[in-house]
Amino acid sequence: MTLRNKQIVIAVTGGIAAYKTAQLVREVQAEGAQVRVVMTASATSFVAAKTFQALSGSPVAITDNGLFDQAGMDHITLARWADLIVIAPASANSIAKLIHGEADELLYAMCLAHEGQVAIAPAMNQQMWSNVATQENINGLRNRGFLIWGPADGAQACGEVGPGRMLEVSELLQLVLSRFENTAFAGQHIVITAGPTHEAIDPVRYIGNRSSGKMGFALAEAALAAGARVTLVAGPTEQICSPRIHVIHVETAAEMHLAVFQQLDDCDLFIACAAVADYRVANIAAEKIKKHSEHLSLELEPTEDILRDVKQAQPKLFCVGFAAETEHTIEYARDKLVRKKLDMIIANQVGSSEQGFSSDYNAVEILTADSQESIARMRKTALAPKILDAIHQQLLNRKENSNVRYLKKSHST
Ligand code: CTP
């Protein structure tokens, strides 16, 4: 029961996905958390407050009517009580109100008064989600440190298909768990590379790849949630992350190499998640290349292998690589593990839209010299804490083994 002693406010705004939130309340409670439900007036036209009251075993707060604080300060009492507020579903309207800091209902006033984290599970029509207004609001909230969970892609209640569905309850539960699961990396400095690199051909063109950066950014968020100080060296990507993560934006493999090496002095763990270009153009054209002839050949030269160089420079540093392969996944990944002298490699199959590069989902095999663990297809945001757990477990095993070695040594002397 990961959530034992945790106090979670589940806040419901007006949307059809509110019926799923009833199940979320049950599942969060089943993990040991105490749950209070807060609703907007409009949410009550989708699911009755009594449903949530019966499920949570506590009164549902809709207005400051003294259910939790006789002085009519329920919004303050709940804001202080909550270890985490999860707004699910979060309608387009509620997101717009949150970005403006409105406080015309208890739910919004509570969010303003809450010092800890607020997670948002958006749910709306795909066009409303894609609208620039909503996107700007969401990005603004993310920049302020709100956690944005979803939305998912798929069939919508309105009959359309696209992004805007609330995440499934099981996915939301995983995300709630990931907020509390561990402090495994407390005080440690984790350096992560993410995204693609762009290698210039001329001032307007480059060689790139399809990496979206989603996996690396999810790992950075999970590392932050596990108590680490995180430096994320990111190639060109649209991903946004918590302001508490130190992001260094780079474009080329050479810049990424330099940025990573500048962070190595006090680094405790290095995760190379970036899809770094293996080659760059030997002679970058100073001016835009014109189509003068039928054929054009570019001479390429190898880029720096960041991961290999880091491991060579700091052999004791725990280094994790990624192997994105289209075939013979395990075999090729094992080869990389050995060749680059890595401590762990995360292998995944790419080449389909179901998982991998630009997808929100991934399924991986976690390989070390003497172990192999499969993790089934799931959202990258849920996968990231699992990968960190596996790394943590390896670090613990190492510590134990070195203690045993030390003990044996001291016995024998
Ligand atoms: N990597 C890196 N710097 C590079 C290339 C790769 O740090 N210049 C890291 C990636 O971040 C990833 C792992 O190494 O963690 C992937 O290795 P990859 O380049 O795919 O391996 P190669 O040995 O180049 O094998 P191949 O290209 O044949 O698949």
Ligand 1 atom closest to 273 (CA): 11
Would you state the pLDDT for residue 410?
54
Q: What is the pLDDT of residues 229-254, one digit of tens each?
A: 999 999 999 998 877 899 999 999 99
pLDDT < 50: residue spans in the chain: 412-413
Domain locations in the chain?
7-178, 189-410
- pLDDT, mean over the chain: 92
Ligand 1, atom 17, lies closest to the CA of: 323
Would you state the pLDDT for residue 413?
42
Q: What is the pLDDT of residues 139-154, one digit of tens each?
A: 999 999 899 999 999 8
Asked whether the domain spanning 189-410 has the same topology as the one spanning 7-178, the reply is yes
Q: Is the CB of 276 under 6 A from ligand 1?
A: yes
Would you state the pLDDT for residue 242?
79
Task: Please state which CATH class domain 189-410 belongs to.
Answer: alpha beta
Would you state the pLDDT for residue 412?
46
What is the pTM assigned to this prediction?
0.70
Ligand 1, atom 18, lies closest to the CA of: 323
| Beta-sheet strands, E only, within 104-175 | 117-122, 147-148, 152-155, 161-165
Nearest alpha-carbon partner for 343 in 306, 304, 392, 376: 392
Determine whether 275 is exposed, middle or buried from the number of CB atoms within 10 Å of its CB (0-12, 13-18, 19+).
Answer: buried
What separation in Å is there between the alpha carbon of 7 and the centre of ligand 1? 43
Ligand 1 atom closest to 310 (CA): 7
CA distance readout (Å), 395 to 38, 168, 271: 41, 33, 14
| Residues with a known catalytic role | 158
Please confirm whether the linkage preceding 196 is cis (ω < 30° from 0): no
Q: Please name the CATH architecture into which domain 7-178 falls.
A: 3-Layer(aba) Sandwich (3.40)
